[in-house]
Amino acid sequence: SAVISQKPSRDICQRGTSLTIQCQVDSQVTMMFWYRQQPGQSLTLIATANQGSEATYESGFVIDKFPISRPNLTFSTLTVSNMSPEDSSIYLCSVVGQTYGYTFGSGTRLTVV
Q: In the complex, which residues of this chain contact another protein (CB under 8 A)?
A: 1, 4, 6, 31, 33, 41-45, 48, 58, 92, 94, 96, 101-107, 109
Nearer to another protein, 65 or 109 (CB): 109
Cis peptide preceding 39, ω within 30 of 0: no
Nearer to another protein, 62 or 82 (CB): 62
Nearest 10 degrees: Cα torsion 73, 28, 94, 97: 130
Rounded to the nearest whole angstrom, what is the least distance from the CB of residue 106 to another protein in the complex? 5
Nearer to another protein, 87 or 107 (CB): 107
Contact 67, 81 (CB under 8 A): yes
Rounded to the nearest whole angstrom, what is the least distance from the CB of residue 103 to another protein in the complex? 7
Contact 19, 66 (CB under 8 A): no
Element (H or E) spanning 65, and its range?
none
Rounded to the nearest whole angstrom, what is the least distance from the CB of residue 46 to another protein in the complex? 10
